[in-house]
Amino acid sequence: MSLNIWNDQGPWPQRARLIRDEIESLQPDLIGFQEVLRGEGVDLLDEILAGTSYHRDFVVAEESLPRPGVVFGNAIASRWPIASRAELILPNVEGNEARAALYCTVESTIGSVCIGCTHLNWKVDQGAIRERQVVALVDHLLSECVSIEFPPILVGDFNAVPESAEIRYLKGLQSLDGKSVYFRDAWSHAGDGSEGLTWSRKNPYVMQWLDPDRRIDYIFVGLPQPGGWGEILSCKIVCASEREGVWPSDHFGVYAELQTENQT
């Protein structure tokens, strides 16, 4: 599962409860979170997951927040122990918000699984920056997963539509910087055939930006192993409904199920 939690804006305590309820309903084994705040008197990840058995890790993307002692970043939660972790500050240009990626290898019941979580630059005219970011984050992910049989997983808020160069690169539809890769887009592969919007004006938290409806949040998975190990079985949009006028976040989340038994 992947979700941009919109830091602690809006009615955060109620939103945190909705996010927690969705997690309890879905019971995902791995979760990538974006826009997590941690620091002095603040730990949004703990507020969502307190009392659960999830193992957690966090990477700082931005330290120069208006709130002293509080940092902004991405997190991974795992049902299984985290055996190793790595982080990467992504390419950017001076004056832009810093972006980072977190990579964790977890020791699951089916063996080692490698997952990366990221949050790319958000402005619609920053495609060139995002192109540099996806090349860097995938290079690092593949270096972390080189000896792991289960297909690598990459989740996050990519702030890019499916037709963009940065997403086409991830899907093996074009090269960047003389490089090419291939990941399956879980929604394209196993969604319900709709647009799969994760940034939608039906959500009142989105309306203030006057942005068009878009799909910008993704779960990507490497090629499955022979026998179907890692095949994408289903994908759906989650955290996409309100309760008493409160929505879980400004983004909708993405949830996918992968095959964990090799049929050969």
What's residue 65's pLDDT?
Answer: 76
Residue 230: φ, ψ to 5°? 95, 0
pTM for the complete prediction? 0.97
Is residue 197 within 8 Å of 237, Cβ to Cβ? Answer: yes
Say how far residue 4 (Cα) sits from the centre of its chain: 7
CA angle 203, 205, 209 (to 5 degrees): 105
Taking the C-alpha atoms of residue 225 and residue 66, their distance in angstroms, rounded to an integer, is 46
What pLDDT, in 10s, does the model give residues 208-218? 878 899 999 99
Taking the C-alpha atoms of residue 79 and residue 61, their distance in angstroms, rounded to an integer, is 24
Residue 200, pLDDT > 70, answer yes
Q: Which residue has the higher pLDDT, 147 or 251?
A: 251
Taking the C-alpha atoms of residue 181 and residue 176, their distance in angstroms, rounded to an integer, is 9
**Which band of pLDDT confidence, cut at 50, 70 and 90, is reported for residue 264?**
low
What pLDDT, in 10s, does the model give residues 36-51? 999 999 999 999 999 9
Which domains are present in the chain?
2-236 (3.60.10.10)
Q: Is 218 helix (H, G, I), strand (E, B) or coil?
A: strand
Taking the C-alpha atoms of residue 254 and residue 10, their distance in angstroms, rounded to an integer, is 21
DSSP 233: E
